[in-house]
Structures are given as structure tokens and as C-alpha cells.
Amino acid sequence: MKNLFFGAVALGLLGTLAAAPAAAQGTVRRHMVYFNDKNGTPFSVAQPQSFLSARALARRTRQNIAVTARDLPVNPAYVTQVRNVPGVQVRYRSRWFNAVVVECDSASLRNIAALPSVRTAQTLNRGPRPVPSPSPSAQVPPTLQRSTLGTRSQYGPAFKQNQIIGAIAMHDAGYRGEGMHIAVFDAGFPGVDQIPAMQPLFAQQRIVGTRNFVDGGTSVYLRHSHGTNCVSAIAAEQDGFYIGSAPRASFHLCITEDINSEHPIEEANWLVAAEYADSAGVDIISSSLGYTTFDAPSRSYTYADMNGRNAISTRAATMAARTGILVVSAAGNEGDDPWHFISAPADADSIMTVGAIDSLGQHANFSSYGPTFDGRIKPTLVSQGVASAVLAPSGRAFRGSGTSYACPILAGMAAGFWQANPTLTAQQVIAALRNTATLATTPNNMLGYGIPHFVRAYNALNPNSPLAAQSAAAGGAKLAIFPNPSGDGPLMLALPAELRGRALRVRILDTRGATVSQQQIPATTAGEAAVRLGKLAKGSYVCEVSAGETRRTATFIQQ
């Protein structure tokens, strides 16, 4: 499974046909058939409610995005012409590509190509139809390592990955994704309907759409558990056990990936899932999938194809962004492989491409590098993707590594940030997080613009009503630091209760234990205190805060 990055809207409304039941085992080829035009279509941009939901139109209106001819459904007469060719089954329609995905043999495809409405066709897969994967109740991807997890307050093992990007402070400020719709594209979601930490989604009816673009229909609690792992990082909520980054958001779960083979048909699935998301009014797409090489005889991509214009999934991601959706894509896990660079659709323009770091803010060696072939900086941002905590279909928490997990963790924070700043466009959300990240002024093609933080981005947009740095962490027994990694500004200390109201001595120690900075801070009853670091070399440091015999320490990274 090369492209899984480990380490209720009516179908007819959406411009995507309900997929037929899966064909019997045998040789089944799928093709994308492109039409010449949309001439004669009964649909009109003046009546978009016939093919876009009210929520989709509202998203566009908020962002001043017009409905254009690109959004019009495929001309039904053209679809009928194709369907009437003997031996052809139409699987899906694509508004954006003005195309249909069909199943047929080579002879039938030649007959389709002869139709006057058809411009060209592209074969999406070859060879025998793979047998569907089982959907075990406790499947754990074999490339992930288990570990014993500690707990911290309500968040359990998810505490650190939320803290790094400010999601805990975001929740404490009252933003947990309420009212935001997130679509997760993946290979399956077994156990999501049974995991105790996911039950609030069902009790509050926040699973608002499910689509299986591999087998057809709406059954998604099956196939591979990678999607379960990813959605749990956003959506799970069980106090004292695990809390995701946007646990009160609403979700659309879409199976687009077939782990048994690797062909461009999966990119076509991604495309029609994105069109479904657009039509349904989704705000954010979280996709931990990527495409570089395919099984023979399908043509693989090269790095030159990672230019934001070639790959099917890349073009689809760009079009989704143009409809006002915030597309969040994993960068890929090829950083230490010969491929090395990001994959599709992570090379798309106007999306948020997410790389991976560890809990100390250091680049994960597997996290794919930029730039795109045409020279754009990638990834956009990074979040924790080393030893990230996620849930298995059994409900058990475990740790795994990959940009797969960095992506949904950050997508959830972006959802809460957009909820807190509802007048922003999707592109302004990306800009706000990027412009306040730790490497905002010195981005690179390893970490992009660095680590974003909810509070820093929120305060930049709302200077007259700033939020405290990390109030949720301040009530605990440990010292917490924000931002971490730190930049040129002051280091904010979230003080445990026993240090509040007392004069404090602060020492900064290097890795040898030598004191490189120290200062006194007057007594304060507030939960936070600021420390001026002065000039520190890049590296890892320990911040020691003491009052009398009480001493607390925390490690941070200076960048």
C-alpha cells in the first residue's frame, strides 16, 4: 500500500452518480471519458440549487466565489450516449473534468471514442479486479509500531500533538470545530461506528455523509483501518482517554483508496469524492493519500509531474480549493526514499500540504521534501507525525508515525481556527496560519513555514481581544511552554498553580546543563508569564522555573 501515509445529501443532487454494485471477480477496466463541451446542458449557473446544496452555495457566497460553467454537471444527453454503447457501465460523472468514469473492455472503449461528443479517453486501471480487503475489528497497519501510552489530563496520549499547534488553547477558548464540516478521504473506516470515543458523532448526528467510491454505495465502516486512525485524530472525544483536534466538527467519510492495487482509478475516486464534498457544502478536506508510482502497466509519475498541473488528484485538489474548500493534504513519506519529494495531490497550488515533525519540533526523516517541480515551497506547514497517538478499530490507542497523522491533526486545528474567524476565506486561513508559523520569515523545503499555533494566528487577526497563550495547560502540575519551537519573540510560560503568585527565578540551560540565561519574574496570579530569551543559538534547551523549593522544568527548541 504505497500511498497511505503511515509512518446526508441525496446522491442525485451532487452531480455524481450512485456507483453500481461491484462487478464480479474478473478483468474489469475503468476509463475516464472526456467530453468536448457542455453544450445543450439543461443546467444553468443561474439555477445552481439544482446541482449544489444550500450549504455549498453559502460557502461560495461567504468567499465571493461565483458558480461558473466548470461547476455545471455533465450534459445528461452525452452520458446517455455513452451508456447506450453495448458493454458499458457508467460509474461516475465529473463536473469539473466534464467526464465520466466507465467500466468496459477495449472494443467498447473504441466505440465510445467514436462518439461525436467525446474528446478523448484515459485508461485508469488494468488487470484483474482485486479482492476487497477484509475489515477486521482491530486491524493495525503493520508498518506502525505500538507503544505504551501515558495520560495527561483529559487528552490522554493526544495531549502533546494538540498542544504543539495550540489546539488545547483553542478548545479552552471554546472552539472545537462546531458547525464545521470535514471530509476525510481514505481507504476505510472500520470500527468508527463502534469505538466508544467516537460515539458522540453518532449520538449528535455529526456523521452527515458517507460514500464508498471503491465498491459503490454508502457503506464505509469496512476495508482498511487507515481511515479510522486518521479520523480519530480529529474526531475522537472521550475525557480522560483521548480528545482529537476538532472533536465537535461534523464529518463526511469517503472511501477513495483501494489498498490492493495502485492505479490512477484511485485518483479518479479522489476527484469524484472532492466533487461530492463541494456539492455537499464541506468546508475542509483532509486527505492522507498520495500518488507517485503505479502498478504496471499504468504509467507512473515522475518528479517532473509534481508541478501542480499534471496529476488527476492534484488538478482535483486545485479545483476544490477554487470552490472555497480548504484542502489539507499529507506531504508524503518519501523523504528518506529515492523519490524524496512530495507526491500528488500535495503538489497542488492553493492547498495546505502538511509535513511531519516529532514532539520536539524536529523534522521527521521520512517526511517528504519540496519544492514542487515548478519551484513552489512545500510542505506548507508541519505538525506532529512521529509517535502520534491515534485509535485502532478496537478503540485501543496506539502510536504511529507518518504524515498521514500530521495531516488530520492539523486539519482539525484549522477547522477550529476557521470557526473562530468565520469571515475568512479558505485561502486567508492558510495565509494566517502560515504567516504566524515558526518559520514564517525563513521558510524552507523541509519544514515549509514551520509549526503553526492557534493562539499566535488568532491574536494576529484579533489584536484587540487576544487569547492567553496556553491556559488549558496552565492548570496542570507541569510547566508548559509556548511557542515550542520558539522563534525571535518571548517565550511564554504556562504556569502550574503552585508557581502562581510567587516571585520566580527562570534559568535557561543548554544540553550540557550550563546556564545560558537567567532572570527574575515578579509575582503574578495570572496563568502565564513571558520570558525574554535574547540571542540563543539554535538547538534544544531546558527552561527551569523555581520559587523557593518548588522547581519545574520543560524542554523547548530554539529555531
Q: Could you give the residue numbers annotated as active site? A: 186, 226, 404
Block residue for cell numbers 482498511: 224
Q: What is the DSSP string of 89-131?
A: EEEEEETTTTEEEEE--HHHHHHHHTSTTEEEEEE---SBPPP
SS3 at position 398: strand
Burial class (CB in 10 A: 0-12, 13-18, 19+), 123: middle
Measured in degrees and rounded to the nearest 5, phi and psi for residue 516 equal -110, -10
Which residue from 298, 441, 299, 462 is spatially nearest to 377, judged by alpha carbons?
441
Do the beta carbons of residue 486 and residue 416 sit within 8 Å?
no
Burial class (CB in 10 A: 0-12, 13-18, 19+), 26: exposed
SS3 at position 149: coil
Whole-angstrom CA distances from 338 to 151, 329, 369, 373 are 38, 21, 12, 16
Strand partners, 505: 520, 546
Burial class (CB in 10 A: 0-12, 13-18, 19+), 221: buried
Which residue from 304, 400, 289 is spatially nearest to 353, judged by alpha carbons?
289
Residue type, 508: I
Cite the beta strand spans of 177-224 per DSSP E: 181-186, 207-212
Residue type, 274: A
- How far apart are alpha carbons 80 and 46 in whole angstroms? 24
- How far apart are alpha carbons 178 and 194 in whole angstroms? 22
Q: Which grid cell is 538? A: 539554535
Evaluated on CA atoms 213, 215, 220, 223, the torsion sign reads negative
Burial class (CB in 10 A: 0-12, 13-18, 19+), 298: middle
Do the beta carbons of residue 227 and residue 214 sit within 8 Å?
no
Whole-angstrom CA distances from 422 to 168, 175, 180, 328, 357 are 19, 12, 10, 18, 29
Block residue for cell numbers 479520523: 231
Do the beta carbons of residue 274 and residue 172 sit within 8 Å?
no
SS3 at position 183: strand
